[in-house]
Amino acid sequence: MAHDPQNNHLVLPPSGQGPGVLVLHAWWGLNDFMKDFCRRLAAEGFTVLAPDLYHGKVAVTVEGAKKLRGTAKRAQASAEILAAADQLQALTGGPIGVVGFSLGGWWGLWLSQQRPEIVRTVTLFYATGGGDFSLARAAYQGHFAEQDDWEPASGVTKLEKALVKAGRTASFYTYPGTGHWFFEADRPDSYNPAAAHLAWDRTLAFLKGG
């Protein structure tokens, strides 16, 4: 399937080059918050690429997000994510990090299984997933909410056990007093500034290999 590179949001660091980070958006789409997150990473020295899986459409309500997710074809989304990962790796010449939010986190786990030779790290925000991690080479980091109806603690524990069983490193954090979307400043009902700042610091340290 042909991939349209115009669906990718590319942000370069001030130096013009840096390690690659692929950002996979939540089910809201590639909205302003996601683009700002990409800019923040680029300001820290990373070359950041975010595929727009909804091709310009964004949602602001749960109902709208469900509709967008339902219209996105899995085969097309998977092809676009693979193409974006390959594009970023070719652009930077090295292994890449992946940061995925909710639905995007599920895709990030999937990508680490599909492209084990180029995915060095995977950072998850309130997301889990299954599959076979035996061939994956990535290290994993997870940021999870204490009270999350969308991503229960049982799923987090199951994923952590699967990663450890596969011999992968898994550093998972649960943030007290938080719910799903706690990192996203444009979700005022869920946003937790203290937890978001801590998760940001941990994400940067992880991406930089600290």
Q: What is the pTM of this model?
A: 0.94
Q: What residue numbers bound the domain in which 154 lies?
A: 5-207
In this structure, what DSSP letter does residue 208 have? Answer: T
pLDDT in tens, 63-106: 988 888 888 788 889 999 999 999 999 999 999 999 999 999 99
Q: In what order do the strands lie in the sheet with 139-145?
A: 8-11, 47-51, 20-24, 96-101, 119-125, 139-145, 170-175
Handedness of CA 128, 134, 136, 138 (dihedral sign): positive
First vs last Cα of the chain: how many Å apart?
38
Q: What is the pLDDT of residue 2?
A: 34
Q: What is the pLDDT of residue 210?
A: 53
Number of domains in the chain: 1
Separation between Cα atoms, residue 52 and residue 76, nearest integer Å: 12
CATH number of the domain enclosing 88: 3.40.50.1820
Residues of the chain with pLDDT under 70: 1-6, 210
Q: What is the pLDDT of residue 67?
A: 87
